Structure 1
Amino acid sequence: MIQKKQRSGLAHGLKFLIAILGIWVLAGCSRAPVNAQSHGVWSHYFVYPFSEVIQFVATFFNGNYGLAIIFLTIIIRCLLLPFTISQTKNQQKMKELQPEMKRIREKYKGKDKETQVKMQQEVMALYQKHGVNPVSMGCLPLLIQMPILLAFYYAIIRTKEIAAHNFLWFNLGTPDPTHILPIIAAITTFIQYKIINRQLEQANPQIQMMGYIMPMIIVFSAWKLSAVLPLYWIVGNIFMTVQSIVLNRKRKNMQTAANPNS
């Protein structure tokens, strides 16, 4: 049972790490400016539309691309919020079903195929009874969100107009000369990971290491990247942190209402 908890916690941490590593690796990919003549399905139908949206939104902020990226990052995260809420609800239901899951595993201890099939059938019946969608517990939500987030990410680094503008104390197209942004990006990544994975870390302290590895990856990546990228990461981290706090508080209030004597 302990090993299963560890594998579950580690898998959750690995998914988060893979997402960060994916962005880090992609940072070294093509940065050729994107436009209406860009070839390829990815560039023309995914990245270019986001680039156009960024430029359009910037006009509402008097050409301030920094504010445009902050605004669009929040909007995109809000649009993806239903996936996060659905996944959070399923995770909570799964946690509540653990006693039943344990009973089923003890009932079907045999390793033969027939016993395992019966166990899976009873598990699926349990899921259906309580409205749990096991698909939303895996990588599917991440696979749905990642193309959108990566297309927006690529649009940021491949829209040449962004690099020519300043925001606050830095130029969006060059590394932050003070290195404040990479440090803030690392700190917000650490805080976000700790809040999201608080319960998993309590069940499996081994994944605490992930919370230290990811900020290190972020700070080293952002140190020499255009300042617009750590700005984007910071806004995303803050949004996800606030989102997790609000969802956790809402869940606790619902649990208290359901079990007032607990």
Structure 2
Amino acid sequence: MTKINKWVKTVGFLPLFLAALALVGIIAADHSYTGYVAGSGIWGSFVAFFIRSILGVSSWFSSSYGLGIVVFTVLVRFFILPLMVYQIDSMKKMQVLQPQLKVLQEKYAGRDTETRTLLAQEQQALYKEHGVSPFASMLPLLVQMPVLIALYQGIHNSPVLRSGSFLWLNLGNQDPYFVLPVLAALFTFGSSWLSTQANPQQNTMTKILPFIFPFIIFFTSLAVPAAVSLYWVVGNLFQMIQTFFLQNPFKLKQEREEARAKEKAKARKMRKAKRSKKR
């Protein structure tokens, strides 16, 4: 019970409230669709539930499947928002410990078994002291992935969803003007760049990744139906906005600079105090 209370406190009321509303909306959408969608097995039934829910949302907008995909994607993103908040909080805590972890790695730089064991013990002690789990950021990702994959498969595999039109798009064909692939790539870059800038500990790989992912998304979007590209655009836009509010790199940079300024001011006072004692 204590762990649940701690998790709720970390996530906060608003994300949990939005997730609850989104869940109600998803279930309501599923029940509002009166047709039949086939699905065999646990995974097939899970994907069928997503398809029915998207079709249900579409029925709220006069069977506009494009709007159905947009609204349902937003509902799913709000539903997994608490997991994202918890994941980002865990990542921030790990970033704070990075300098201390680096010191330990330099202290136990040997490759032998004994040195590696000592390093692992020291790291575990550090994690325990600060109440941080190195795997906490991975758990939300593992929970999110089946949801996002089911959403993708539901859109990709439903002939009904891909039979509609939205704006200039035929949802079953590729975007003829490449607008969606470009937007999907731009929003992916924005989200990745913001997340990278929020991390004070950067290496060559973390600097390159924000430029690699957009290219992958762009060229993949060129080969899939517009319905899937639309899902990526909406999802990546939501991710970018979410990253800005939860990992605002400009705010974090200012906070780090203020903390360094306080440390320098404290060090100056200590030096002045020492000089005064010597006199």
Listed as ranges, the gaps of 5+ residues in structure 1 are 1-34
Aligned positions of 1:12-161 closer than 5 A: 36-43=37-44, 45-138=45-138, 140-161=139-160
Partner of 2:197 in structure 1?
A: 198
Percent identity between matched residues is 37
How far the C-alpha of 1:153 sits from its partner, in A, is 0.7
Deviations 1:113-135 (A, max 9, x none): 23322321221121122111111
Query: Which has the higher mean CA deviation after the structures are superposed, 111-120 or 170-179?
Result: 111-120
Name 2:269's counterpart in structure 1: none
CA distance in structure 2 between the aligned counterparts of 1:235 and 1:155, rounded to whole angstroms: 16
C-alpha contact 1:201 1:208 (8 A) present in aligned 2: no
Q: Deviations over 1:206-237 (max 9, x none)?
A: 44443333222222222242111111111111
Give the secondary-structure state (helix, strand or coil) at the position aligned to 2:62: coil
- Is the contact between residue 195 and residue 247 of structure 2 (CA under 8 Å) also seen in structure 1? no
How far 1:67 sits from its partner (Å)?
Answer: 1.4
**Alignment: residue pair count:** 227
Question: Is the CA contact 2:189–2:213 (under 8 Å) kept in the aligned structure 1?
Answer: yes
CA distance in structure 1 between the partners assigned to 2:207 and 2:79 by the alignment: 30
1:189 aligns with 2:171: no
Structure 2 vs 1, CA of residues 194 and 115 (structure 1 numbering), >3 Å: closer, same or farther? Answer: same
Larger relative contact order (CA 8 Å, sep ≥ 6): 1
| Structure 2: gaps spanning 5 or more residues | 1-35, 264-279
Following superposition, the deviation at residue 148 of structure 1 comes to 0.6
Q: Which residue of 1 aligns with 2:13?
A: none
**Contact 1:185–1:230, Cα closer than 8 Å, also in 2:** yes
Q: Which moved more, 1:216-225 or 1:231-240?
A: 216-225
Q: In the aligned structure 1, how far is the partner of 2:67 from the partner of 2:254? A: 35
Q: CA shift at 1:49, angstroms? A: 0.7
Which amino acid is the alignment partner of residue 48 of structure 1? A
C-alpha separation in 2, matches of 1:180 and 1:51: 25
**d(CA) in 2 for partners of 1:106 and 1:216?**
36
Corresponding residue of 1:180: 179
CA distance in 2, matches of 1:48, 1:252: 44
